[in-house]
Amino acid sequence: MPSKSSAERIELLKHQIKTGCALLADPPIEWKEHSAWEDSTRAILVRCFGKDSDEFKTFLKNGDHPNSLTETEWNDYLISNMFFEEQMTLRLENAIPQQNGKRIQMHRCEVEKSSFDTIMDALVALKLVKIIGAGNCWGITSKGQQIARGRCCATLGSFSQMSGWKRKVCRMGVALAIIYVVVCLCARAFQRRLIYFPTKLTPMVAEQAAVQNGFSPWQSKSGQIIGWKRTAKGDSSGSVLLIHGNAGCATDRSYLARPIHDALPLGVFVLEFPGYGARPGAPGMKSILAAAEEAFDQLPVDKPVYLVSESIGAGAAAHLAKLHPERVRGLAMFVPYDDLANVGQRSMPFLPVKLLLRDRYQPALWLKNFRGPIQFVLAGADEVIPTKFGQRLFDSYQGPKQIQIIPGAHHNEVEEQSTEWWKTVYAFWQQPM
């Protein structure tokens, strides 16, 4: 097999070093005496080849001391014993016995038979070795491994050892990484406590509050109360399903239900989320979407349905519009958003919210194929869902749309509208789809 050129050998060594292969790591100990160097060399050879090996016996036979070898003999010894013949594997991985409380690190490495000069040239080219002077040099200083190269002395840069401050920085980085992971895990485990803020009521208190606000119980086919309703005045032209936000409960949404009921010939139905009011269960995207679908199925099938949402309820409203585009005749969305993950990322910029969020409501995606008219109402000074997220939803929607941004209004200050306003929205809903 033809031998490799010097350039090929240098490229091979570059690859080996860059992939974690090193000849001898920077020792953090001082080897100023020949005896220290000799003892450690002895240990290296024993660990590499064993006490009964020819390599070790050769070392002993030659006098146990570098000065007993001529310069040429020593260079030949380095080539044959440290860099090996043919291709061999250095079996020493975690180096030699402790000296001064520290130890040398060596790495697994394969080196093709090569001259010592070629090895050194490659190390110099990689800036891992610096030529620091002339003369024979057998010792090893605290600055690094000194290697004999004819009459030159070179210092091998640090491959695997770190200085004290670097180790401290590394430890601090590891500690911060652990803390960050713990924070992420806690955020994922307890995120629903940061999203949903239900008001819980006993059935008796809930019914009393509902009556005071003009509601009557809205029951499922199984007899469970799934929300509250106001029946239409006279003949009903359809139904409004109202999906509230993440705080409070359905019985306190009279500020939305009353003007709609007074202005329009529609029945008004307010969905109660699981875990809110007196309804059993726990809030979450899966349970809320299922509750919204169940409620939608209770509405009259022969008349149009209009959806009104506030805040987080935009997700369930958009999901119903996606599932029932032929029945949903229009929407009114107060302080909505395009994707709940975007809102969460803005609130917690230091966390990977898109990876951690389990309840990822996506109104923009879910309304992609819906073409009914939508009225958007945004708060100009919204501190919970910044205006830009509602604006993104409006911009992405491809059907008939209107937007109203109320300057200076906060998150909970835009839902109360007059009967005249609702009549205008209702007229907008009646345009052909």
pLDDT at 233: 87
User: Looking at the structure, do residues 191 and 204 belong to the same domain, yes or no?
Assistant: no
Q: pTM for this structure?
A: 0.63
User: Looking at the structure, do residues 84 and 219 belong to the same domain, yes or no?
Assistant: no
Examine the pLDDT at 188 and tell me if it is beyond 60: yes
Examine the pLDDT at 78 and tell me if it is beyond 60: no
Mean local confidence (pLDDT), 227-247 = 94
User: Looking at the structure, do residues 32 and 173 belong to the same domain, yes or no?
Assistant: no
357 part of a folded domain: yes
pLDDT tens across 329-368, in order? 999 999 999 999 999 999 899 999 999 999 999 999 999 9
Q: How many CB atoms lie within 10 A of CB 77?
A: 16
User: Looking at the structure, do residues 17 and 46 belong to the same domain, yes or no?
Assistant: yes
The SS3 call for residue 130 is strand
Among residues 111, 144, 161, the one where a domain terminates is 161
User: Looking at the structure, do residues 13 and 74 belong to the same domain, yes or no?
Assistant: yes
1 part of a folded domain: no
Arithmetic mean of pLDDT over the chain: 74
User: Looking at the structure, do residues 171 and 211 belong to the same domain, yes or no?
Assistant: no
DSSP string, 306-346: EEEEEGGGHHHHHHHHHH-TTTEEEEEEES--S-HHHHHHH
User: Looking at the structure, do residues 63 and 124 belong to the same domain, yes or no?
Assistant: yes
For residue 232, what is the domain's CATH number?
Answer: 3.40.50.1820
pLDDT tens across 279-335, in order? 999 999 999 999 999 999 999 999 999 999 999 999 999 999 999 999 999 999 999
User: Looking at the structure, do residues 114 and 15 belong to the same domain, yes or no?
Assistant: yes
Among residues 175, 195, 215, the one where a domain terminates is 195
382 part of a folded domain: yes
237 part of a folded domain: yes
User: Looking at the structure, do residues 65 and 188 belong to the same domain, yes or no?
Assistant: no
Grade residue 8 by pLDDT with cuts at 50, 70 and 90. Answer: low
Interacting residues of 8 by C-beta distance below 8 A, sequence separation 6+: none
Mean local confidence (pLDDT), 134-140 = 31
Grade residue 222 by pLDDT with cuts at 50, 70 and 90. Answer: confident
User: Looking at the structure, do residues 237 and 364 belong to the same domain, yes or no?
Assistant: yes
Find the domain containing 37 and state its range.
Answer: 6-161
User: Looking at the structure, do residues 352 and 231 belong to the same domain, yes or no?
Assistant: yes
Q: How many domains does the chain have?
A: 3
Mean local confidence (pLDDT), 9-17 = 47
User: Looking at the structure, do residues 313 and 242 belong to the same domain, yes or no?
Assistant: yes
The SS3 call for residue 121 is helix
pLDDT tens across 18-57, in order? 433 333 333 333 333 334 334 444 444 444 445 566 655 5
